[in-house]
């Protein structure tokens, strides 16, 4: 545990000492500020539009930070050769991966929390009904989402270059958010091998869409039932555990 804490701690320092985070944070702050100012015109539906767009931006920026920050961890350790003195210490390869995972996750959650606080302030000040409980659920789902994103990117790091990793992660994000349901429909309405193939794709893909509470938050629907949150938590835990297990195996076989 102390090893994971030590590795993760150095990653948090890296975030706080680099400009990327501050630039993105100020950018989203300005963007949400500008968007919220549109509500002053009292146009019907504008507040919902702001909530909708604000949530999408919040998730996208959190995703960008999580992906770019995590994806460069393994390549930069290897390129800068900082990995050698670290692995020469009593650190197993699995421990190293877990340290990088929790470091990436904590960094991503810190940024997400700050972004979410800005979003929540605009959400609650938006004038329309909005349940604070739903906001809390939105935050929890955002954290689950980042758990999955960081695990996935770290897994990809073992066999993809930095740019390929970032590109593939973005493509997956777009596909899953845009076409996840299409794979399910294709599996349901096609026959034979095609149905099996589409079904396999649907179930194997990391379902970022499970964590998307955009519509529910925008239209101020009722909060989710507890069992739904529990089911999504289990899904996240199982998926992340599998990814991290294989990330550790692949990293263990990597010739450094």
Partner 1 sequence: MEEIISIKNLYYTYISGKDRVDALRGVDLGITKGEIFGFLGPNGAGKTTTIKLLLGILLPQKGELAIFGRSPSLPAARQSVGYMPETADYYRYLTPVELLNMYGNIFGIEKSLLGGRISELLELVDIKNAAGRLMGTFSKGMMQKVSFAQALINDPDLLILDEPTSGLDPVSRKRMREVIRHLREKGKTVFFSSHELSEVELVSDRIGILDRGNLLAIGPVKDLLGGRGEGESLETFFLKIIEERA
Backbone angles phi and psi of 238, in degrees to 5:
-65, -50
Measured from the CB atom, the residue of 14 and 209 that comes closer to partner 1 is 14
Tell me the closest approach of the beta carbon of residue 114 to partner 1, in angstroms.
Answer: 20
Could you identify the residue written with the tokens 């958010």? 177
- What residues make contact with partner 1 under the rule CB under 8 A? 2-3, 5-7, 9-10, 13-14, 17-18, 80-82, 84-92, 95, 255-256
Q: Which is nearer to partner 1, 83 or 220 (CB)?
A: 83
Are 245 and 82 within 8 A, CB to CB?
Answer: no
Cβ within 8 Å of residue 141, ≥6 positions away? 210, 211, 212, 213, 229, 232
Comparing CB distances to partner 1, the nearer of 33 and 252 is 252
Question: Are the CB atoms for 98 and 244 separated by under 8 Å?
Answer: yes
> Rounded CA gap, 21 and 31, in Å?
15
CB of 104 to partner 1, least distance (A): 15
Q: Which is nearer to partner 1, 95 or 187 (CB)?
A: 95
Coil, strand, or helix at residue 254?
coil
CB of residue 9 to partner 1, shortest distance in Å: 7
- Residue 17 or 191: the one with the smaller Cβ distance to partner 1 is 17
Taking the C-alpha atoms of residue 155 and residue 71, their distance in angstroms, rounded to an integer, is 9
Q: How far is the CB of 218 from partner 1 (least distance, A)?
A: 39
- In angstroms, the CA 235 to CA 155 distance is 17
Shortest distance, CB of residue 108 to partner 1, whole angstroms?
17
The least CB distance from residue 3 to partner 1, in Å, is 5
Backbone dihedral region of 39: left (phi > 0), alpha (psi from -120 to 50 degrees) or beta?
Answer: alpha
Q: Using CA atoms, how far apart are residues 154 and 148, in angstroms rounded to an integer?
A: 10
Cβ proximity to partner 1: between 13 and 219 the closer is 13
């Amino acid at each position: 545990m102390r090893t994971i804490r030590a590795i993760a701690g150095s990653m948090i320092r890296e975030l706080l000492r680099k400009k990327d985070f501050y630039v993105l944070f100020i950018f989203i702050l300005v963007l949400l500020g500008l968007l919220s100012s549109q509500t002053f015109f009292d146009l019907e539906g504008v507040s919902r539009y702001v909530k909708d767009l604000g949530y999408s931006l919040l998730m996208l920026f959190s995703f960008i930070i999580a992906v770019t920050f995590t994806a460069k961890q393994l390549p930069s350790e290897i390129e800068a050769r900082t990995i050698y003195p670290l692995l020469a210490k009593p650190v197993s390869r699995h421990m190293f991966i877990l340290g990088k995972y929790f470091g990436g996750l904590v960094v991503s959650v810190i940024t997400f929390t700050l972004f979410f606080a800005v979003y929540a302030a605009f959400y609650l000040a938006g004038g329309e009904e909005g349940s604070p409980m739903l906001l809390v659920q939105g935050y929890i789902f955002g954290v689950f989402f980042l758990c999955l994103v960081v695990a996935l990117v770290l897994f990809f790091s073992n066999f993809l270059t930095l740019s390929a990793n970032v590109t593939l992660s973005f493509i997956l994000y777009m596909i899953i958010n845009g076409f996840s349901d299409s794979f399910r429909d294709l599996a349901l309405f096609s026959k034979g091998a095609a149905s099996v193939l589409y079904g396999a794709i649907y179930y194997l893909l990391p379902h970022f869409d499970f964590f998307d509470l955009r519509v529910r938050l925008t239209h101020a629907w009722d909060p989710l039932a507890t069992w739904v949150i529990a089911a999504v938590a289990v899904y996240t835990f199982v998926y992340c555990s599998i990814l991290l297990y294989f990330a550790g195996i692949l990293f263990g076989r990597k010739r450094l």
